[in-house]
């Protein structure tokens, strides 16, 4: 454990120096980690833990696309790849990495196999926090822990393979064994976290839902569409509007902010850009603060969870989703983006 100062606030974090992989392996040496679900987070976490030397098996519905992906990734049917039911039966740590809707639908199956002394692991606090809507209430004689990588499973795997790590939060909801905290940290190291910071299930899901709907995806997509529209309506070409809105952001500025911080990026651009950014950022902050507070209130009240569950459980949701994504994909903005990416790849 290390105390690190983040912007003037001391926080306790866990790094791989204080809690090395060797210690994580020792903590979990007698555990069979059953990764249930091989969709978004499952592949990255399962493969990273396997490569790190943990005893990992995968549970997935047979003959599904995810089952085929698991086979392609090297999991062997009957040895390390099983049905969800059998994997949950075999596992001493059940890593429930199904979608939120999948967790609700399969909770009776998972709960039935949560024998005393087992550990239930999540990477999202949704099911536990909104138990009134999900009915996910673990038995009292199991540990319930969480490790939430701050990014996609694809990024988690890519950074791990390149020798890096994605930062993760971790939490303990229920400590039946007296060892849940240590297990959570060991799992966090095992999946390839850069460093770990402690949270709780409620804070994890509140921040996650706000972030996804806000800066990370919803707000980002919305402001991109708005700026692109303004430039096009003012006579700029699709290529110019896209490059000034998306390409420069993703290919140049965001990587610089990630590497050096916003202040460094400001200091290393033209005076015109510096003044424009500094003079206008306050207006955007003032404009979006009410929206973000409204968003957080909606998350905290459970309305976002209710909407997610209702939409996700609708029989025709997949078709509706594809129609929405097709509208995005076919828009001038993102058709221009596809062309720009092709031209970028040809230049390499």
| Residue 87 in tokens | 């994997």
Helices (H), the chain: 21-27, 42-51, 65-72, 84-90, 100-112, 126-129, 131-134, 153-161, 180-190, 201-213, 218-233, 238-242, 248, 254-260, 262-267, 271-301, 303-312, 317-330, 332-347
Rounded CA gap, 313 and 309, in Å? 6
Q: What CA–CA distances, in Å, run from 302 to 171, 307, 308, 309?
A: 21, 9, 10, 11
What torsion do the CA atoms of 260, 262, 264, 266 make, to the nearest 10 degrees?
A: 150
Give the bridge partners for 197, in sequence order. 13, 169
Catalytic residue among 113, 124, 157, 183: 124
| Residue 256 in tokens | 């610089």
124: annotated active-site residue: yes
Rounded CA gap, 283 and 64, in Å? 48
3-state DSSP call for residue 2? strand
Rounded CA gap, 131 and 142, in Å? 17
- Write out the catalytic residue numbers: 124
């Amino acid at each position: 454990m290390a105390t690190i100062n983040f912007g003037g606030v001391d926080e306790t974090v866990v790094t791989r120096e204080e809690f090395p992989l060797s210690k994580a392996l020792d903590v979990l040496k007698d555990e069979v980690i059953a990764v249930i679900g091989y969709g978004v987070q499952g592949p990255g976490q399962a493969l990273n833990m396997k490569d790190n030397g943990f005893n990992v098996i995968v549970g997935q519905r047979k003959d599904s696309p995810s089952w085929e992906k698991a086979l392609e990734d090297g999991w062997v049917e009957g040895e390390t790849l099983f049905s969800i039911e059998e994997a949950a039966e075999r596992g001493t740590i059940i890593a429930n990495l199904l979608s939120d809707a999948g967790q609700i639908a399969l909770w009776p199956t998972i709960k039935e196999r949560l024998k005393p002394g087992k550990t239930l692991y999540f990477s999202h606090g949704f099911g536990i926090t909104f138990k009134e809507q999900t009915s996910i209430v673990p038995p009292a004689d199991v540990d319930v822990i969480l490790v939430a990588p701050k990014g996609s499973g694809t990024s988690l795997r890519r950074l791990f393979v390149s020798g890096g790590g994605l930062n993760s939060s971790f939490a303990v909801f229920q400590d039946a064994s007296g060892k849940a905290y240590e297990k959570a940290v060991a799992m966090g190291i095992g999946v390839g976290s850069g460093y770990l910071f402690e949270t709780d299930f409620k804070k994890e899901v509140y921040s996650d839902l706000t972030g996804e709907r806000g800066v990370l995806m919803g707000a980002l997509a919305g402001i991109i569409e708005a700026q692109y529209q303004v430039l096009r309506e003012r006579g700029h070409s699709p290529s110019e509007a896209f490059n000034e809105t998306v390409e420069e952001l993703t290919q140049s500025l965001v990587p610089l902010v990630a590497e050096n911080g916003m202040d460094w990026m400001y200091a290393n651009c033209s005076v015109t850009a510096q003044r424009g950014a500094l003079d206008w950022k306050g207006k955007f902050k003032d404009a979006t603060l009410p929206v973000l507070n409204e968003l957080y209130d909606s998350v905290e009240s459970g309305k976002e969870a209710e909407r997610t569950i209702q939409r996700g459980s609708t029989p025709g949701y997949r078709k509706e989703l594809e129609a929405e994504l097709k509208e995005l994909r076919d828009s001038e903005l993102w058709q221009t983006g596809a062309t720009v990416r092709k031209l970028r790849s040809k230049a390499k």
